[in-house]
Amino acid sequence: MNELMKKRTGSKDIVNLGDEVNQTITLTNRSEYEITNIQIKDTFSEGVNFKANSIVIDGASYTGYNPINGFTLPSSIKVGSSATITYRIIIDSTTTKESFAIVSAVTYTFDTTTVTENSDTYTMELPNGDITVEMTVDKLVATKNDEIQYTIKVSNIGNLRNTAVTITDPMPDGTSFVEKSVIVNNTSQPTYNPATGFSVGNIDPNSSATASFKVKLI
């Protein structure tokens, strides 16, 4: 078990180019000894820049400290106590990257042992509202007057909530829409018509909405 708990958080998970993001590292002594000589050195992925002179340790500002170069905490951490380090990073306004990561290497001494351990990795992403649309049909072969049911699955594969998602599907030649046949997320919607469009609501990241309707071959 690690003797020093290392928790990293940030003020934003979804970021825009040029954003400033607060970073917080909380170190908690879970050992039976006072932890001394605590050094922090961070690794930033491409597209992340440190905002100079923004480091604050337990409420006190430390001008000139830089997490990329590494620094030593001014005080030890007693048993059961914590230290909090904050600073700001800036997302490069010219980067072509879409995701970013920061991890800390923390070196410290307890009893007579010196160890180096990594914090958890903090990740950020640019906004992404991507969706996928999959359409299936219940019959591959049909004849005149047959009814065919189409099912459309809209999946949110991005990191933003998609709001007011609308499906519009004009009837192909040789078919007519079967009225009152639309079902959205297992709920019948008798007034909906795919030719004029209808809403399937909001879709959260890693979620999907499903709509089905019937057409008749004429």
3-state helix, strand, coil in the chain (%, to 5): 0, 55, 45
Mean pLDDT score of the chain, rounded to an integer? 95
pLDDT at residue 11 tops 80: yes
> Taking the CB of residue 71, how many other CB atoms lie within 10 A of it?
19
Confidence of residue 126 (pLDDT cuts 50, 70, 90): very high
pLDDT digits (tens, 9 = 90+) for 147-177: 999 999 999 999 999 999 999 999 888 899 9
| Predicted confidence (pLDDT) at residue 188 exceeds the cutoff of 70 | yes
The yes-or-no verdict on residue 1 having pLDDT over 70 is no
Q: What DSSP state is assigned to residue 50?
A: E
Q: What is the pLDDT of residues 75-117, one digit of tens each?
A: 999 999 999 999 999 999 999 999 999 999 999 999 989 999 9
Closest CA to 29 of 98, 87, 109: 109
Quote the pTM value: 0.78
User: In the chain, what is the greatest distance between 2 CA atoms, to the nearest angstrom?
Assistant: 85
Residue 26 confidence (pLDDT) above 70: yes
